[in-house]
A = this chain, B = another copy of it.
Amino acid sequence: MVDYEILHQFVTFYRTGTLRETAEKMHISQPTLTRNMQKLEAEFGVPLFNRTKNSISLNETGILAAEDARMLLKQTENMLQRTRDFDRKKRTIMLGACTPVYIPELIHRITAVYPTAAISSEVQKIPLLLEGIRNGYYHAVLLPFCPEDNDLSCRKWGEEHLSFLLPKRHRFARRKSLSVSEMNGENMLLFQDIGFWHDLVVEKMPDSRFLVQTERYTFMELIENSTMPVFTTDYSFDSLPDSVSIGSRVAVPITDPAFNVSYYLVCKRNASPKIIDRLWP
């Protein structure tokens, strides 16, 4: 039976051209390599080498065989990789969320209960989350509402309340609360990775323009060094620079119910394992 290791040596010899160099690369002695090439040739049953007393090279057949062998080795590696990938996929918990804010917590909690599992998480549009949890692509999704679907079970995970973060000299800076319609038309800074909030904001403030920032640092700098309103939440408040929260800006809560959401972790009712049931023991 053809030996994978020897095939590997053979291909390496094909690339290098001398036994000495090949032996060095493969970390074996040269006599071993000589013997192995003899074995291989015997296994093929046809001449693969041109030999003189002190040189050896592949003949035409040997070149053909080496190229075949190279592909075979690659396919062998592919087999291993495919199998490992499949196994990994089997033990991967697919997690979808409408917002990035809770993902670290979710991963932390899930990891505690499924220590051997891999977790693949992503922020995705709500319709795709619903579709994905129904068709089995996701094992759990985090939604800003509890879907009324008998196939799904649902458990409250947390809340988030949006406020406008306004410069102190803003005309609404002294208000105790605001509705989004009052701010409609006013241009705002917006951070890119805020999940479903993005669509909601654009929908509820159709006359405003939003300056979307992709870089966290730039976004923070602009908060400090501009007078444009931004959103903030009771969740992310902590991570803002002190100068903002105590200094040049004030947070004014938004009254609209759509901006004060409860998040729900959703699983298929008959899923196994049912992640929800494991997270709340």
Contact = CB atoms under 8 A, between A and B. Distances in A.
Interface of A: 1-5, 8, 43-48, 60-61, 64-65, 68-69, 71-72, 75-76, 78-80, 82-84, 86-88, 90
Contacts of A83: 44, 46, 48, 61, 64-65, 68
A46 B79 CA distance: 13
A2 B80 contact: yes
Contact of A84 (B46, B78, B87): B46
B1 A8 contact: yes
Closest 3 CB pairs of A and B: A46-B87, A68-B79, A65-B83
Given A44-B83, A44-B84, 9 more contacts: A1-B4, A3-B3, A3-B4, A45-B80, A45-B84, A61-B90, A68-B79, A69-B79, A72-B79
A87 B61 contact: yes
- Listed residue (A3, A45, A47, A80) with the most chain B CB atoms within 10 angstroms of its CB: A80
26 contacts: A1-B4, A2-B4, A2-B76, A4-B4, A43-B80, A44-B84, A45-B80, A45-B84, A46-B83, A46-B87, A46-B88, A47-B87, A60-B86, A60-B90, A61-B83, A61-B86, A64-B83, A65-B83, A68-B78, A68-B79, A68-B82, A68-B83, A69-B79, A71-B75, A72-B72, A75-B75
Nearest to A79: B68
A69 B84 CA distance: 14
A43 B84 CA distance: 11
Nearest to A83: B65
A278 to B, nearest CB: 21
- Listed residue (A60, A65, A79) with the most chain B CB atoms within 10 angstroms of its CB: A79
A79 to B, nearest CB: 4
A80 B45 CA distance: 9
